């Protein structure tokens, strides 16, 4: 599936849940693009990143923002947000299974110290991510 079609489908799904549960405000930032990390070239990142920006405004794919500016005249098509990265979470090392959940919550909260405005992205590097309650 093409990036634009996939993000449009996801936007509609997210919008439906937001409508069911309250407010669609902020929909443009409900799916963040980190796609440049997993593609074969900067060109691929730019194409996928620009396609994502048709539906959402959250991105860390600078090449997509630059392509949107060059081809469509978008002064600033996308914005980054404060985000944890896998290495900042996993670098804390292995912990005892009994302490793992508590320690992982501390890991997730640590990068958020000093950040007052949402949204933020928290990486959860574990299989049972739904059991990690940090809020």
Give the integer Cα–Cα distance in Å for 124 and 105. 9
pLDDT tens digits, 98-112: 344 455 555 555 555
Mean of the per-residue pLDDT values of the chain = 78
Look at residue 123 and tell me whether its pLDDT is greater than 70.
no
The last residue of a domain, from among 43, 72, 101: 72
* Banded pLDDT at 52 (limits 50, 70, 90): very high
What residues make up the domain containing 98? 86-131
Query: Is the same domain home to 103 and 55?
Result: no
pLDDT tens sequence across 64-87: 999 999 999 999 999 987 776 666
With b for 16 or more beta-carbon neighbours within 10 A and e for fewer, the 85-98 pattern comes to eeeebeeeeeeeee
62 has a pLDDT exceeding 50: yes
Residue 38, pLDDT > 60, answer yes
The count of structural domains within the chain is 2
35 has pLDDT over 80: yes
**Residues 8 and 68 grouped into a single domain:** yes
One domain for residues 52 and 91: no
Per-residue pLDDT at 3: 85
Residue 110 lies in a domain: yes
Residue 66 and residue 35 share a domain: yes
Q: How far is Cα 64 from Cα 70, in angstroms, rounded to an integer?
A: 10
Share of the chain above pLDDT 70, in %: 61
Tell me the pLDDT band of 126, cut-offs 50, 70 and 90.
low
């Amino acid at each position: 599936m093409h990036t634009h079609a996939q993000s449009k489908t996801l936007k509609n799904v997210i919008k439906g849940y937001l409508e069911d549960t309250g407010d669609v405000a902020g929909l443009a930032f409900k799916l963040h693009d980190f796609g440049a990390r997993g593609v074969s070239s900067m060109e691929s990142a730019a194409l996928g990143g620009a396609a994502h920006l048709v539906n959402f405004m959250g991105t860390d794919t600078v090449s997509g923002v630059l392509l949107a500016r060059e081809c469509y005249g978008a002064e600033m098509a996308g914005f980054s947000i404060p985000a944890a990265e896998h290495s900042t979470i996993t670098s804390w090392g292995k912990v005892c299974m009994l302490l793992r959940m508590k320690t992982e919550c501390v890991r997730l909260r640590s990068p958020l110290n000093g950040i007052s405005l949402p949204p933020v992205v928290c990486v959860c590097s574990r299989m049972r991510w739904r059991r990690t309650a940090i809020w």
